C-alpha cells in the first residue's frame, strides 16, 4: 500500500481539527482511497501551548522547514494562515515536488497565480477545498460537478463570522462587539477579525469562486468590498419590516451580452422568502445558477474546527489518490473558458437599493429628496417615514428601483448635502435573484 506521510504546518483551530479527524477517521480514509495516511510531524509556534486536541510532543517542532524538508514527508498541509510564512511553506514544498493542501484563502487571493504556476512547474498539485465555505465541497462542485454548465450567477454567504454576528443581531438584538467576541472564542474569526467584518475574507473566497466559475484569474483587488461594521439595529429592523433579512453576500454575476462579471461582497437585503434568508449562525450557503442545472444550493457549516477539517480531509484523500496513481497537475487553478473575462467596475453594476436617511422632520423634506432621485432617473418603490415630532431628526427609508451603482452613489452624495439630512446616508443593495 502507498504510504502517505503528512506534515502539518499549524496546530491551531484547523490544524488540531485535522489531527483529531485523522485520529478518528484516518483508517476509514485509508481504506476508501487504498493508500495509508499517517501524521508524521506537526509544526507550531509554541511547543508549550495548551491545545484543544493534544498533539503528541514527539511529533511537534517549531521549525516548519524541518517538516517540509523531512525526506519521509510526502504531503504537506499548510494551516497557519497569513501570506508571508505560509507562502514560503507552500512554495518550498511545491519546489520539492510535494503536494500541498491549504485552507488559506488570503494566500490564494494574494499569490494564487504564482503558487498554481509553481505546482505546474514542479509537477505536483495544490488543493484548496477548505479555503471557501468551511465544510461545503463547493470547489469540487464548481470544478467538476458543474463542468458542463455556464454559471450565470452565484451568490454566497461565505463568511461564518459575519453571518453569526448578523443572525444574533437580528434574532436576539445582540450587540455587535459582544457577538464578535463570541465568534472569536468559538474559533470562527480570522486573526485579526477585521478580515471578516470588513468583508475581505468573503472577498478572497468570492474571488476564488469567480475564478472557478468564469475561467479567468480574478484579482482580489477587483472584487468590490463592503463589510458589516456600518449595519445597525435600525437597518435590521426596517429591512425586517419590509420583508427582508440582511446578509453579507458574495455575488458573482455574468453581465448580459459580455464576458464581464460582477464580483462583489456587500451587505445585501435578501427577501425573507428566499432560501438564503434562513441561513443562520455560522452556517454558509452558496446558491448557484447554471444554464443547464438551473438553481442549486449548497449549505453547511462555514467555519470552525470540524467543518474545516472535513474539507481538509477531502483534499488529503484526493492527494493520497494522486500520489497512489502518480497523477501530476490534475488540478489547474481553473479551467479557461470560451472567452477571456474581466471584472466590471461596481459603478457599472445595476442594483436595487434600501436607503436609510436621518432627516429633520419638516414640510418639503421628502419632496426635495424624491426630486433628486427623480432627476437621477431612479424610481422609488416604497417609503417608510415613522411618525415623529416636527423639527426632530427621524429616520426616512426608501426602497429604490434598479439603477447603476454609479448613478445611485451620485444621487446619494447630492442628498447628503441637503441641510435637512443629518449624518451619513446608509445605502444597502437589494437582491431579487431574478435571472
Assess contact for 148 and 237: CB atoms under 8 A.
Answer: no
Task: Work out which of 104, 109, 161, 420 binds ligand HSE, going by CB under 6 A.
Answer: 161
Residue 134 binds ligand HSE, judged by CB under 6 A: yes
Residue 283 binds ligand NAP, judged by CB under 6 A: no
Stretch of 106-114, 155-163, 329-337, 397-405 lying at the interface with ligand HSE (CB under 6 A): 155-163
Distance CA 176, CA 234 (A): 13
Query: Considering the complex, what minimum distance in angstroms separates the CB of residue 132 from ligand HSE?
Result: 7
Q: How far is CA 416 from CA 68, 70, 263, 373, in A?
A: 56, 62, 27, 12
Task: Work out which of 302, 317, 341, 425 binds ligand HSE, going by CB under 6 A.
Answer: 302
Residue 196 binds ligand HSE, judged by CB under 6 A: yes
Lay out the site mask for ligand NAP across 103-132 (x = CB under 6 A, - = otherwise): xx-------------------------x--
> Beta strand 100-102 with 126-127: parallel, antiparallel or unpaired?
parallel
Q: Is 362 a catalytic residue?
A: no
206 binds, among ligand HSE, ligand NAP, none (CB under 5 to 8 A by kind): none
Size of the residue set binding ligand NAP (CB under 6 A): 28
Query: Considering the complex, what minimum distance in angstroms separates the CB of residue 387 from ligand HSE?
Result: 40
Size of the residue set binding ligand HSE (CB under 6 A): 11
315 binds, among ligand NAP, ligand HSE, none (CB under 5 to 8 A by kind): none
Name every residue whose Cβ is closer than 8 Å to that of residue 251 and which is 6 or more positions away in sequence: 153, 154, 155, 206, 262, 263, 264, 265, 266, 268, 431
Lay out the site mask for ligand NAP across 31-70 (x = CB under 6 A, - = otherwise): ------------xxxx--x--------------x------
Residue 249 binds ligand HSE, judged by CB under 6 A: no
Torsion of CA 143, 145, 150, 153, to 10 degrees: -90
Assess contact for 243 and 271: CB atoms under 8 A.
Answer: yes
Give the three-class secondary structure for 264.
strand
Residue 198 binds ligand HSE, judged by CB under 6 A: no
Assess contact for 253 and 261: CB atoms under 8 A.
Answer: yes
Residue nearest to ligand NAP (CB): 12
The string over 293-325, giving b where at least 16 C-beta atoms fall within 10 Å of a residue's C-beta and e elsewhere, is eeeeebbbbbbbbbbbbbbbbbbbbbbbbbbee
**Given the residues 105, 170, 205, 254, the one annotated as active site:** 205
Residue 134 binds ligand NAP, judged by CB under 6 A: yes
Stretch of 80-88, 110-118, 159-167, 266-274 lying at the interface with ligand HSE (CB under 6 A): 159-167
Task: Work out which of 7, 12, 227, 267 binds ligand NAP, going by CB under 6 A.
Answer: 12
Nearer to ligand HSE, 26 or 160 (CB): 160
Query: Considering the complex, what minimum distance in angstroms separates the CB of residue 105 from ligand NAP?
Result: 6
Cell triple for residue 153? 450567477
Residue 160 binds ligand HSE, judged by CB under 6 A: yes
Q: Based on C-alpha coordinates, what's the Rg of the chain? A: 24
191 binds, among ligand NAP, ligand HSE, none (CB under 5 to 8 A by kind): ligand NAP
In order, the DSSP letters of 75-127 are EEEE-S-SSSHHHHHHHHHHHTT--EEE--HHHHHHHHHHHHHHHHHTT--EE
Nearer to ligand NAP, 49 or 368 (CB): 49
Stretch of 82-90, 139-147, 158-166, 348-356 lying at the interface with ligand HSE (CB under 6 A): 158-166
Task: Work out which of 16, 102, 104, 159 binds ligand HSE, going by CB under 6 A.
Answer: 159
Distance CA 72, CA 40 (A): 8
Query: Considering the complex, what minimum distance in angstroms separates the CB of residue 115 from ligand HSE?
Result: 18
Closest by Cα among 220, 201, 218, 228 to 132: 201
Question: How many other CB atoms are there within 10 angstroms of residue 113's CB atom?
Answer: 13
Q: Which helix (H) or strand (E) holds 359?
A: strand 350-360
Name every residue whose Cβ is closer than 8 Å to that of residue 24 and which is 6 or more positions away in sequence: none
Stretch of 121-129, 183-191, 227-235, 318-326 lying at the interface with ligand HSE (CB under 6 A): 183-191
In order, the DSSP letters of 388-420 are --TTSEEEEEEEEEEEEHHHHHHHHHHHHTSTT
Cell triple for residue 424? 451619513
| Interacting residues toward ligand NAP by CB under 6 A | 9-15, 43-46, 49, 64, 79-81, 85, 103-104, 130, 134, 187-188, 190-191, 303-304, 308
Q: Catalogue the active-site residues.
A: 205
| Interacting residues toward ligand HSE by CB under 6 A | 134, 159-161, 188-190, 196, 201, 302-303
Amino acid at each position: 500500500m502507498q504510504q502517505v506521510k503528512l506534515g502539518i504546518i499549524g496546530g491551531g483551530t484547523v490544524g488540531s481539527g485535522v489531527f483529531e479527524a485523522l485520529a478518528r477517521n484516518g483508517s476509514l480514509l485509508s481504506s476508501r482511497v487504498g493508500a495509508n495516511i499517517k501524521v508524521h510531524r506537526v509544526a507550531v509556534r509554541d511547543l508549550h501551548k495548551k491545545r484543544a486536541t493534544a498533539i503528541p510532543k514527539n511529533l511537534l517542532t517549531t521549525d516548519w522547514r524541518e517538516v517540509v524538508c523531512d525526506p519521509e514527508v510526502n504531503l504537506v498541509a499548510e494551516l497557519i494562515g497569513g501570506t508571508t510564512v505560509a507562502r514560503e511553506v507552500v512554495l518550498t514544498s511545491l519546489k520539492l515536488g510535494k503536494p500541498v493542501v491549504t485552507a488559506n484563502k488570503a494566500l490564494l487571493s494574494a499569490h494564487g497565480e504564482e503558487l498554481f504556476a509553481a505546482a505546474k512547474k514542479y509537477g505536483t498539485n495544490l488543493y484548496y477545498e477548505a479555503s471557501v465555505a468551511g465544510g461545503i465541497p463547493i470547489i469540487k462542485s464548481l470544478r467538476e460537478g458543474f463542468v458542463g454548465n455556464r454559471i450565470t450567477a452565484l451568490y454566497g454567504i461565505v463568511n461564518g463570522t459575519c453571518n453569526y454576528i448578523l443572525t444574533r443581531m437580528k434574532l436576539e438584538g445582540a450587540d455587535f462587539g459582544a457577538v464578535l467576541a463570541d465568534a472569536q472564542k468559538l474559533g470562527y474569526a480570522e486573526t485579526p477579525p477585521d478580515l471578516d467584518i470588513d468583508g475581505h475574507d468573503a472577498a478572497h473566497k468570492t474571488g476564488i469562486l469567480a475564478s472557478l466559475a468564469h475561467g479567468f484569474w480574478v484579482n482580489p483587488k477587483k472584487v468590490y468590498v463592503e463589510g458589516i461594521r456600518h449595519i445597525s439595529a435600525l437597518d435590521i429592523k426596517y429591512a425586517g419590516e419590509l420583508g427582508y433579512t440582511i446578509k453579507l453576500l458574495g455575488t458573482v454575476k455574468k453581465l448580459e451580452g459580455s464576458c464581464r462579471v460582477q464580483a462583489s461582497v456587500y451587505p445585501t437585503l435578501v427577501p425573507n422568502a428566499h432560501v438564503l434568508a434562513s441561513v443562520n449562525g455560522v452556517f454558509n450557503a452558496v446558491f448557484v445558477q447554471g444554464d443547464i442545472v438551473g438553481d442549486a444550493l449548497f449549505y453547511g457549516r462555514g467555519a470552525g474546527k470540524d467543518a474545516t477539517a472535513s474539507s481538509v480531509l477531502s483534499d488529503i484523500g484526493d492527494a493520497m489518490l494522486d500520489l497512489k496513481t502518480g497523477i501530476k497537475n490534475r488540478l489547474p487553478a481553473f479551467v479557461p473558458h470560451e472567452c477571456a473575462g474581466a471584472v466590471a467596475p461596481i459603478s457599472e453594476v445595476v442594483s436595487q437599493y434600501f436607503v436609510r436617511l436621518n432627516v429633520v422632520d419638516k414640510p418639503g423634506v421628502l419632496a426635495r429628496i424624491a426630486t433628486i432621485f427623480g432627476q437621477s432617473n431612479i424610481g422609488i418603490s416604497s417609503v417608510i417615514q415613522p411618525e415623529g415630532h416636527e423639527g426632530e431628526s427621524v429616520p426616512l427609508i426608501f426602497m429604490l428601483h434598479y439603477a447603476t451603482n454609479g448613478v445611485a452613489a451620485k444621487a446619494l452624495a447630492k442628498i447628503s448635502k441637503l441641510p435637512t439630512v443629518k449624518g451619513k446616508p446608509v445605502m444597502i443593495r437589494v437582491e431579487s435573484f431574478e435571472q
